[in-house]
Structure 1
Amino acid sequence: MTDMTSNASPDRARASELGPIQRFLKATEIDPRMLGMLGALLVIWIGLHIMSGGLFLTPRNLWNLSVQSSSVAIMATGMVLVIVMRNIDLSVGSVEGVVGMLMGFAQVHFLVRMMGLPLGDPWIWIIALAIGVAVGLLIGALQGFIIAYLDVPAFIVTLGGLLIWRGAAWWITSGQTIAPLDTTFQLMGGGPRGSIGATWSWVVGIVACLAVALMLINGRRQRKRFKFPLRPIWAEAFIGTVIGVFILGAVWIANSYPWPVGIVRRYAEENGIAIPEGGLFIAHGIAIPVLMAVAVGIVMTFIATRTRFGRYVFAIGGNPEAANLAGINTRWITMKVFMIMGVLAAISAAISSARLNSSTNSLGTLDELLVIAAAVIGGTSLAGGSGTIAGAMLGALLMQSLQSGMVLLGVDSPLQSIVVGAVLVVAVWLDTIYRKRV
């Protein structure tokens, strides 16, 4: 009893020395870097909204922003694991391009013209997506094998991959654009048909809020079970409330963006619906690519934080020599990380090509810079050993916000590249300062 009292007293004394912000962060266990990134995102959004004359923070632009961020966010989740292991992947944009071209070729030429499948056959998009994921997996396995087992630096291997796969994308069709794609495949790109509507969006939002509450309750039970420190009840309620408000707010914004008038008119004619005098309001709801990105984020978070493989990745990134001496098969883990990266690039290729309704030679150009920047801005250290999936996805949203805002402001493409490069350098510099202080 005496020991417990003597240990608690210094803790209370140290807590009393902290300021109100430090006590709040300690109680809620919120990462200060994540909080800083959210603050930066809010400042950027408000600034772009003012400079664009009130066009940025509108349901239409925010909905489009979420769709545009999806492909980069998906690849950024894989880049976290790559960078955590002290590697880099410069080829993801080119892999996205070649896989997108292969999926387009499979839909338009191979499955329809060569195999004789009728247009609109439900197997077309399934087989095309399976081909894309398989090719992405093989490309990742090849690059990972060269890096892990042949000891060629990841920078060189993926730099070569950037050139090889971009050239292969052009070689498949001699630079010709492939269009149009399968109508069902196009749903992965968003749009009026590629969204789930208002009702299902609210259902998804409510289910997500319930899932967050159950996770917080289960997490508290697990902490009690293993005698870990517990967050105060008010901190648990605060975190749950903030996340719930964010989810329901995102659903409300998605449901505030209506279908275009022309599409509504055609839809009403096809279904025999009378259009009222004030017009017919049909909400987009949450876009399918956004749901895909959220699903990938949840799966990747589980892999990174709840599996042996994820723990091995962070252990290798923290100290490769110690991980090797501990019996971890570092070569196989490295190869698997690049295989995951290849699969995620394939999923992003499906979303990007479906959104454009075409497979072009330029698909994914310079996306490797956005993906790396998103991971680094999201808190993934280039020194290895630390990073979060959620942070990388927020980083992707931040980078896409900058790009979308510059398009609204009419900024030239070269200047956009300058801004992206400057943001990446500043993010690495801030990461260096943070690691020195920690």
Structure 2
Amino acid sequence: MAEASAPRARAPRKSIFETLGIDTRLLGMVGAFVVVCVMFNILTDGRFLTPRNIFNLTIQTVSVAIMATGMVFVIVTRHIDLSVGSLLATCSAMMAITQTNILPGLGLDFGNPLIAPVAIVVGLLTGAAIGAFQGYIIGYLAVPAFIVTLGGLLVWRNVAWYLTSGQTIGPLDETYQLLGGISGTMGETGSWILGAVAVIVACIAIWSARRARIAHEFPVKPVWAEVALMAVSAVLILGFVAVLNAYDVPGRVLAREFEAAGTTMPEGYTQGYGVPYSVLLLIAVAVAMTVVARRTRLGRYIFATGGNPDAAELSGINTRLLTVKVFAIMGTLCALAALVASARLSFHSNDIGTLDELRVIAAAVIGGTALAGGMGTIYGAILGALIMQSLQSGMAMVGVDAPFQNIVVGGVLVLAVLVDIVYRKRTGAK
């Protein structure tokens, strides 16, 4: 008689988060963000989580979040960029003097539709050129990134000062200001359309990723888990749009708009601001950077170089040229951040971007970018920027003075690195 076969060992049961494929570190960040919001909402008697404050918090986060996406690439390749705040100031100064001094001297009067596009192109070229120059010194001349960008922190801040002779430049072009926040939004109807399109795109992306995994015979999540992720994505997107639409334009502003159109505002008429154009710009940057990181040769080279620079070079990757490209991308994103920051203020000031290098590095690290290189996500950096801005805005609303705010930010940065080290030790991640 044949021996009875041994019973099969049961596979360990997966948790709900493992089944959904949710990164536990990302979940922890979301939890920390929720705790911060709830805590400050209690301390401010419910003023922190109002539509008005969430709208302001969103537009204040954009410039740092844009730069944080580029800092992910820089840190992943085992470098650092301490010059981003100063580079932002130089790009902002170039765009400001282009609008107020250079173009009017060439016959383009203030209000000409070409002023904003030309100024933006000048700023982008300035940021890309300076970033590539710093990358060349780091990549080809082998000067450590810490030293090059520390020098850049001092150099570009004072270049901006000399470009403007130490003066505040403004007001800036009205079209240019539309990318700064409250003066440029999509309105309620446009925002709902954007939300609906975003939900459709998110659902298609989730299902396409599932089909791709099946085609390559990779394990996939249960269908119900995919549907749950789609539902959560839809709720978050539409909820965000609803909150921004709930922030009403002041009645006096609407009355002036109706008066300018030669009509009278109807009794009880209200209108929400909706999604700012600056947030639309951040979404575009996030999507573009994510595609670069996950779907392009450049992205693969960046993460391969960060994982093992020597092996990457031996495999044929031109790590020197790659360094130039990464810092050129960082410079271009600094210019975009300068556009948003100066447009929000409606003028260029000498202190614009001060201490942004601390906020940007902190956002990337809090978002899970490993200082040892080779690991980082774009969405994590944006969430990190949102956490940092929430901390600062919340402390300002509570009445904490600026020096103590910076103490807290510095402490959070050190704590984030410590948590990252402990997390990687426990999970075996390198």
Q: TM-score interval w.r.t. the shorter chain?
A: over 0.9
Q: Which residue of 1 aligns with 2:145?
A: 154
Q: Which residue of 1 aligns with 2:313?
A: 324
Q: Which residue of 2 aligns with 1:212?
A: 202
Q: Aligned match of 1:368 in 357, 363, 380?
A: 357
> What pairs with 1:228-377 in structure 2 (closer than 5 Å)?
228-278=218-268, 280-377=269-366
Query: Does the aligned pair in 1 maintain the 2:87–2:331 contact within 8 Å?
Result: yes
**CA–CA distance in structure 2, aligned partners of residues 147 and 277 of structure 1:** 63
Q: What letter corresponds to residue 149 of structure 1 in structure 2? A: Y
> What pairs with 1:37-436 in structure 2 (closer than 5 Å)?
37-112=29-104, 114-191=105-182, 193-278=183-268, 280-436=269-425
Q: CA deviation at 1:275?
A: 2.6
Query: Does the aligned pair in 1 maintain the 2:135–2:327 contact within 8 Å?
Result: yes
Q: CA deviation at 1:216?
A: 1.4
Q: What letter corresponds to residue 245 of structure 1 in structure 2? A: V
**CA–CA distance in structure 2, aligned partners of residues 49 and 224 of structure 1:** 44
Query: Does the aligned pair in 1 maintain the 2:255–2:264 contact within 8 Å?
Result: no
- For residues 290-313 of structure 1, give each alpha carbon's deviation from its aligned partner in whole angstroms, at most 9, with x where no partner exists: 110011000000001111110111
**CA–CA distance in structure 2, aligned partners of residues 85 and 342 of structure 1:** 16
Q: What letter corresponds to residue 60 of structure 1 in structure 2? A: R
Report % sequence identity.
Answer: 53
**CA–CA distance in structure 2, aligned partners of residues 340 and 267 of structure 1:** 40
Q: Which residue of 1 aligns with 2:12?
A: 15
**CA–CA distance in structure 2, aligned partners of residues 164 and 92 of structure 1:** 12
**CA–CA distance in structure 2, aligned partners of residues 272 and 72 of structure 1:** 41
Q: What letter corresponds to residue 73 of structure 2 in structure 1? A: L
**CA–CA distance in structure 2, aligned partners of residues 247 and 97 of structure 1:** 33
**CA–CA distance in structure 2, aligned partners of residues 271 and 310 of structure 1:** 50
Q: CA deviation at 1:14?
A: 3.3
Q: What letter corresponds to residue 68 of structure 2 in structure 1? A: A
**CA–CA distance in structure 2, aligned partners of residues 384 and 217 of structure 1:** 31
SS of the residue 1:62 aligns to: helix
Q: Which residue of 1 aligns with 2:3?
A: none
**CA–CA distance in structure 2, aligned partners of residues 181 and 426 of structure 1:** 40
1:29 aligns with 2:21: yes
**CA–CA distance in structure 2, aligned partners of residues 208 and 292 of structure 1:** 14
> What is the TM-score of this pair, normalised by structure 2?
0.96
Q: CA deviation at 1:55?
A: 0.5
Q: What letter corresponds to residue 144 of structure 1 in structure 2? A: G
**CA–CA distance in structure 1, aligned partners of residues 152 and 108 of structure 2:** 33
Q: CA deviation at 1:407?
A: 1.1
Q: CA deviation at 1:218?
A: 1.1
Query: Does the aligned pair in 1 maintain the 2:96–2:170 contact within 8 Å?
Result: yes
Q: What letter corresponds to residue 429 of structure 1 in structure 2? A: L
Q: CA deviation at 1:221?
A: 1.3
Q: CA deviation at 1:103?
A: 0.3
Q: Which residue of 2 aligns with 1:3?
A: none
Instruction: Give the RMSD, CA atoms, in angstroms.
Output: 1.1
- For residues 86-109 of structure 1, give each alpha carbon's deviation from its aligned partner in whole angstroms, at most 9, with x where no partner exists: 110000000000110110000011
Q: CA deviation at 1:262?
A: 2.4
Q: What letter corresponds to residue 166 of structure 2 in structure 1? A: G
Which consecutive unaligned segments of at least 5 residues does structure 1 have? 1-5
**CA–CA distance in structure 2, aligned partners of residues 142 and 30 of structure 1:** 39
Q: CA deviation at 1:53?
A: 1.1
- For residues 254-274 of structure 1, give each alpha carbon's deviation from its aligned partner in whole angstroms, at most 9, with x where no partner exists: 100011232112112112342
SS of the residue 2:404 aligns to: helix
Query: Does the aligned pair in 1 maintain the 2:78–2:372 contact within 8 Å?
Result: yes
Q: CA deviation at 1:15?
A: 2.4
SS of the residue 1:88 aligns to: coil
In the alignment of these two chains, the number of paired residues is: 421
